Amino acid sequence: MRELAPPIPVPEDAHFGEREAQTLTLFGGQLYVGLWPWGELWRFDLDELQWSFVARLFQIPEMSPDVVSPYQMEMQDTGDVYNYWGQRLVSMVPYGDALYISTMNKYGGPYKPDSHSFLTTESLAQYGQVYRISGPLQITAPISWRQKTTFRFRIASGNLEMYQDGLLLAQTESSRLSGGCGEVDRIILGEGIYGKFGGTRLVHLEGSR
């Protein structure tokens, strides 16, 4: 086991303390991480070997280098933990050709009108949202468990198709390759999130350049 370098950067307008990488997934061949407590989404680029900031999925309140967690000062003397309204990207699920991300506060605690009245309708609505992020040539689908099975991935007319034992499981909704030409320069075979693949790989680039 070793640390993945470099570490995720700390934005200038964020406090350096108590930052946690809480949610991770692979999407489009890249590693995505959801960062607590400000709901930041970061991507690790495997070609550049560096982190890129994608988005913050909360707009309110603004981040501050002087505040560890959202609404930290307002939560004083409420009887709840100070980071109760910390902003989490609680799940990141690849499905079809997109990545779905949901938001939540620290542990799904309820809104309490008496002690949480500082929250506006707009700021409260940020919690419990689901966002859809699309990416180039990404496809994900549930599969059937079998002792022996064959998967086939096909690029046709600019779309990516996924087959299991000849059955089409999923395909991208529209042309995602530049110009819809369907040409492929290279294929990079990763190891996924469940360890090294132990089956037989057959690679065929038909009409590629």
> What is the tally of structural domains in the chain?
2
What is the DSSP code string of 125-171?
A: TTTT-EEEEE-TT--B------SS--EEEEEETTEEEEEETTEEEEE
Question: Which of 94, 113, 134 is the endpoint of a domain?
Answer: 134
Burial (0-12, 13-18, 19+ Cβ within 10 Å), 135: middle
CB atoms within 10 A of CB 19: 18
pLDDT of 111 reads 96
Give the residue among 40, 110, 46 at the shortest CA–CA distance from 80: 110
Band (pLDDT 50/70/90 cuts) for residue 188 is: low
Beta bridge partners of 20: 36
99 plus 192 within the same structural domain: no
Q: Are residue 62 and residue 107 in the same domain, yes or no?
A: yes
Which pLDDT value is given to residue 141? 86
Note the pTM of the prediction, 2 decimals.
0.79
In a domain, residue 197? The reply is yes
Distance between first and last Cα of the chain: 38
Residue 2 lies in a domain: no
Task: Judge whether 170 and 162 are in contact, CB under 8 Å.
Answer: yes
Residue 7 lies in a domain: no
Residue 169: name the closest of 150, 146, 142, 138 by CA. Answer: 142
pLDDT above 60 (res 149): yes
If asked whether residues 76 and 28 sit together in one domain, one would say yes
Residue 209's pLDDT band, with cuts at 50, 70 and 90, is: very low
What pLDDT was estimated at residue 136?
62
Domain housing 162? 141-209
Mean pLDDT score, 132-148: 84
Q: Quote the percentage of the chain above a pLDDT of 70.
A: 84
Average pLDDT, rounded, for the chain: 86
Residue 178 lies in a domain: yes
Same domain? For 84 and 154 the reply is no
**Cα distances (angstroms) measured from residue 136 to each of 27, 88, 108, 133, 149:** 10, 26, 33, 10, 27
201 vs 9, higher pLDDT: 9
The answer to whether residue 108 scores a pLDDT higher than 70 is yes
Query: Residues 22-75: pLDDT tens digits?
Result: 999 988 878 999 999 999 999 998 778 899 999 999 999 999 999 999 999 999
147 with 198, same domain?
A: yes
Domain boundary among 81, 106, 134: 134
Cis check: omega of the bond before 65, within 30 degrees of 0:
no
